[in-house]
């Protein structure tokens, strides 16, 4: 059941941070005020509004749920470092990013030292390599645990010089705005530890990931559902594949469903889940690699969040909020990256799965309400504020609806 956590016009989202193995290890919390289209990431703007937003995230939602038990990175101003909300931020869960716009005064330096001694972790955000900046932050480097370096603001050579100049400190390096596989590989080679950007969603990256050996078995069951085979036949087919049985029982016994008693048979699981939800779960399973935690797989997380986000936006559109439309919208989100799994053009992959024309048109041509919501989800993921604003206006929705849809999608994935 989704919930409206945010009533005022603020934006709260998150962007994954990945390690060298392309696994999600943390999230940067993106927070803006009232008009999200006039504030860039990290510019806190209205202080009271930011405090309220972070308070909702920390207290009303729960940081573990919001971050899926990973580390959170939050931009903070000097004012925020003196606010009593700092005492409520779990220092083992949240790392504090110092904005490039901050002047490192003696007062600010002493406050950072004080918080460091208390166990808080600091990140220097948006570092640009120069002799001037090396001098500016010289006193601060020993207190910093991570440095974020923006690839769009630094040449690859300066990215390398940053690592070489600061390697003597106990600092981990995070490369931001990494959007190609070539840059990802080069940055790994020159010493970067973590990576942030949209590169993990690109087909050239995702197609290099190992495809789940269960794929043929999953497709076999999916085809049976699509061809309207009887439920008993589908159950027998599932029972032929032990790994799918194990995953299904884990899924349906999870806290997400909160059944009063454990489900102990495939027949019971399928009956309670229903064939439509079973189909959606199988499609989602395609995005997960065998033997890994799916919530460390950026493709799995992106697709799960995208589908849930679209469904959460739909609840605000009363004229479209019927069961049939919900099914179309959710399946549209789930299948929107299926070309990566099949390593084939999207149109061909959808046809091979015998997907309905409504879903195909939504994915391929952005038609219908499902197509509009897919466009909104893609713009939201890319932080394309102009497109987000245009689609929100078209749907007569506000920033708070976007934020609540984001938050609920994160919670449903945790």
SS3 150: strand
Predicted pLDDT of residue 208: 35
Predicted pLDDT of residue 163: 96
Predicted pLDDT of residue 33: 54
Q: How far apart are CA 394 and CA 381, in angstroms?
A: 18
Predicted pLDDT of residue 37: 47
Q: What distance lies between CA 54 and its chain's CA centroid?
A: 18
Contacts of 180 (CB under 8 A, 6+ apart): 199, 202, 204
Q: What are phi and psi of 30, to 5 degrees?
A: -100, 120
3-state helix, strand, coil in the chain (%, to 5): 55, 10, 35
Q: How far apart are CA 277 and CA 241, in angstroms?
A: 19
Count the residues in the chain.
414
Predicted pLDDT of residue 9: 57
The b-or-e profile of 289-318 (16+ CB within 10 A means b, else e) is beeeebbbbbbbbbbbbbbbbbbbbbbbbe
User: 402 is written with which tokens?
Assistant: 């976007």
Cα separation values, 167 from 97, 161, 180, Å: 20, 10, 25
pTM of the model: 0.69
Q: What are phi and psi of 177, to 5 degrees?
A: 60, 45
User: 316 is written with which tokens?
Assistant: 């605000």
Beta strands, E only, 136-266? 146-150, 172-176, 194-196
Q: What is the mean pLDDT of each run of 10 residues along the chain (414 residues)?
A: 58 83 86 50 48 63 78 86 81 89 88 95 95 93 96 94 95 92 91 84 37 71 90 90 78 61 76 88 76 67 90 92 87 87 82 84 96 95 89 94 88 67
Q: Which of 272, 233, 232, 231 is nearest to 249 (CA)?
A: 272
User: 204 is written with which tokens?
Assistant: 């050239």
Instruction: Give the domains, in start order, of the chain with CATH numbers.
Output: 11-201 (3.20.20.450), 215-286 (no CATH), 294-412 (no CATH)
Q: How far apart are CA 273 and CA 394, in angstroms?
A: 35
C-beta atoms surrounding 366 within 10 Å: 15
Q: What distance lies between CA 220 and its chain's CA centroid?
A: 30
User: 320 is written with which tokens?
Assistant: 């479209």
Q: How far apart are CA 54 and CA 183, in angstroms?
A: 33
Cα separation values, 36 from 53, 198, 373, 389, 403, Å: 13, 20, 19, 9, 10
The CA-based angle 225-228-232, given to 5 degrees, is 75
């Amino acid at each position: 059941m989704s919930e409206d956590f945010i009533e005022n016009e603020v934006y709260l989202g998150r962007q994954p941070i990945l390690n060298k193995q392309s696994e999600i290890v943390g999230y940067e919390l993106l927070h803006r005020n009232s008009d999200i289209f006039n504030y860039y990431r990290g510019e806190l703007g209205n202080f009271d509004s930011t405090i309220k937003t972070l308070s909702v995230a920390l207290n009303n939602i729960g940081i573990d749920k919001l971050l899926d038990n990973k580390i959170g990175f939050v931009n903070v101003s000097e004012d925020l470092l003196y606010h009593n909300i700092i005492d409520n931020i779990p220092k083992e869960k949240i790392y504090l990013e110092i904005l490039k716009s901050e002047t490192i005064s003696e007062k600010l330096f002493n406050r950072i030292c004080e918080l460091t001694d208390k166990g808080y972790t600091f990140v220097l955000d948006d570092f640009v390599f120069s002799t001037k900046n090396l001098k500016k932050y010289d006193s601060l480097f020993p207190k910093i645990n991570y440095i974020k370096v923006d690839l769009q603001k630094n040449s690859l050579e300066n990215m390398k010089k940053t690592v070489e100049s600061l390697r003597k400190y106990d600092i981990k390096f995070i490369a931001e705005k990494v959007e190609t596989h070539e840059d990802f590989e080069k940055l790994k080679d020159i010493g970067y530890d973590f990576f942030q950007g949209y590169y993990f969603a690109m087909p050239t990256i995702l197609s290099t990931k190992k495809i789940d050996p269960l794929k043929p078995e999953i497709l076999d069951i999916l085809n049976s559902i699509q061809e309207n085979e009887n439920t008993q036949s589908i159950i027998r087919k599932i029972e032929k594949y032990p790994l799918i049985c194990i995953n299904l029982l884990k899924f349906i016994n999870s806290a997400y469903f909160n059944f009063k008693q454990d489900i102990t048979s495939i027949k019971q699981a399928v009956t309670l889940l229903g064939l439509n939800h079973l189909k959606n779960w199988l499609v989602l399973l395609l995005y997960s690699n065998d033997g890994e935690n799916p919530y460390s797989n950026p493709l799995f997380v992106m697709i799960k969040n995208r589908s849930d986000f679209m469904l959460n936006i739909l609840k605000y559109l009363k004229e479209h909020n019927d069961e049939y439309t919900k099914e179309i919208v959710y399946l549209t989100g789930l299948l929107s990256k299926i070309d990566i799994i099949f390593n084939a053009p999207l149109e061909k992959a959808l046809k091979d799965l015998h997907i309905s024309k409504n879903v195909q048109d939504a994915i391929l041509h952005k038609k219908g309400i499902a197509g509009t919501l897919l466009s909104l989800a893609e713009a939201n993921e890319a932080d394309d504020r102009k497109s987000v604003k245009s689609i929100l206006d078209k749907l007569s929705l506000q920033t708070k609806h976007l934020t609540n849809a984001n938050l609920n999608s994160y919670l449903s994935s945790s």
